[in-house]
Amino acid sequence: MNIIVNGQAKEFKDGLTVDELLKELSLDGKVMAAAVNMDIVKQDQWNTHRLNDGDKLELLDFVGGG
């Protein structure tokens, strides 16, 4: 399936959860927030929220500064 991750189209196997996709991208533990098609997916739902072909996934990490 084709998923757009932070603006870049990427190909993945069908039926991945947000958590599984993060592991495939070696980003597990590094992402603080995720939105699928502009809807926030809470971290406690990442292991059950299945992605679909054509979804747009935005992954965010918060950086402090001043």
Alpha helices in 1-66 (DSSP H): 18-24
**Residue pLDDT, tens place only, 25-64:** 999 888 999 999 999 999 999 999 999 999 999 999 876 6
Q: Are 2 and 53 spatial neighbours (Cβ–Cβ below 8 Å)? A: yes
Instruction: Check: pTM over 0.75? Answer yes or no.
Output: yes
Domain definitions of the chain by residue range? 2-60
For the 2-60 domain, the top CATH level (class) is alpha beta
